[in-house]
Amino acid sequence: MIRELAGLGTRVLASNFFTLRQPYKITFAITYRCNSRCKTCNIWQKQPGDELSTDEIRKIFSKISPSWVNLTGGEPFLRKDLYDIAKHIRSRRSVFLLNLTTNALCGDLVVKEARRLASLRFPKLIIVVSLDGTKEIHDNIRGTPGAWEKAIRVYKGLKAIKGVQTFFGYTISKHNLGKIPATMRELSKEISEISLEDIHFNIFHTSSLYYGNQDLADSRGETGAILNDVAYVLKHKRGFGPIQLVEKRYLKLLKKYFKTGKSALPCQALSSSCFIEPTGAVYPCSSFPKKIGELRDSRYDLRKIWKSARNTRKLVKRGKCPGCWTPCEAYQSIYARVLRP
């Protein structure tokens, strides 16, 4: 763990000064298949396409050495080869953190697979369970009756697994404004020790590339109500660990994001991180629909694509992108300002 953590730390510090030779963080949507029907996201309406096979994913990670891999979807636990994918990632001893997000609708399968993932002994393995409000609100947002109950059950199951760190993930949107206190009261009836420290908060975004939800109303019309929710979280969160401090910085900078409509800090897409679609298309991030390469065409060499992305990298640095402030991109930007004002 010490070696992997030192490697991540070195890369984070280096990102304060220059573009890295390869991404230290990869956000990889391994499938667009999804068993949820969310009001905030249209991924479930996408055609899955010709997803990269297990062996193709092995080839990708045989040629790259990231420190942080985020496996997402769709619902990543719908991939029957999830364990094998994680095993290939674990073979890269540079990897410190593997994190995944689940809607928990696969129920006990998520817990079962999480046990297998834990057996790979990643230095840090984080699984986030999506939960966006009280039972009524969450099921309404997810478009799936029983989603809240499954989220609770899966969360409890994950908490019992050694080697897995788990949180709830709460997306603030027009569908759940002002409902954080009510959500906490309802959660406390099921999980007595629950606190705001167990929940990661982010805000609703649109993305034609990833969420496919450009037809949905942007949340900026509810800026005041969103910032009220953010103020509540900042007032009541008590943790001061590395994760909590970065999340608080993210939340505090939301006001600047809403004011400018752009990333609250210089974006690190293509300087520290990139986004991979299930079919192997590579983009700067999940919001910027400017493809920089295809892994199948490059013989699964992400470094080659990374090196060739000079012009797109310049666009990102000049702020010529859609502009977002999602944790998937914002956290790298926060880390890249540790040594700079």
What average pLDDT does the chain have?
Answer: 94
Q: Helix (H, G, I), strand (E, B), or coil: what is residue 3?
A: helix
Please choose, from the candidates 95, 160, 156, 163, the residue with its C-alpha nearest in 3D space to the C-alpha of residue 131.
Answer: 156
pTM over 0.85: yes
Q: Residue 87 has which token pair? A: 């095993």
Size (the chain), residues: 341
- Identity at 211, one-letter amino acid code: Y
pLDDT single digits (tens) 185-230: 999 999 999 999 999 999 999 899 999 888 776 666 789 999 999 9
Q: Residue 118 has which token pair? A: 């834990």
Nearest 5°: CA angle at 146, between 143 and 147? 60
pLDDT at 241 over 80: no
Mean pLDDT of 130-147: 97
Nearest 5°: CA angle at 285, between 279 and 290? 75
Q: Which helix (H) or strand (E) holds 10?
A: helix 2-14
Q: Helix (H, G, I), strand (E, B), or coil: what is residue 21?
A: coil
Mean pLDDT of 138-146: 96
- Identity at 51, one-letter amino acid code: E
Among 33-37, 183-187, 241-245, 262-266, name the one with the lowest average pLDDT.
241-245
Please choose, from the candidates 79, 90, 89, the residue with its C-alpha nearest in 3D space to the C-alpha of residue 34.
Answer: 79
Beta bridge partners of 29: 72
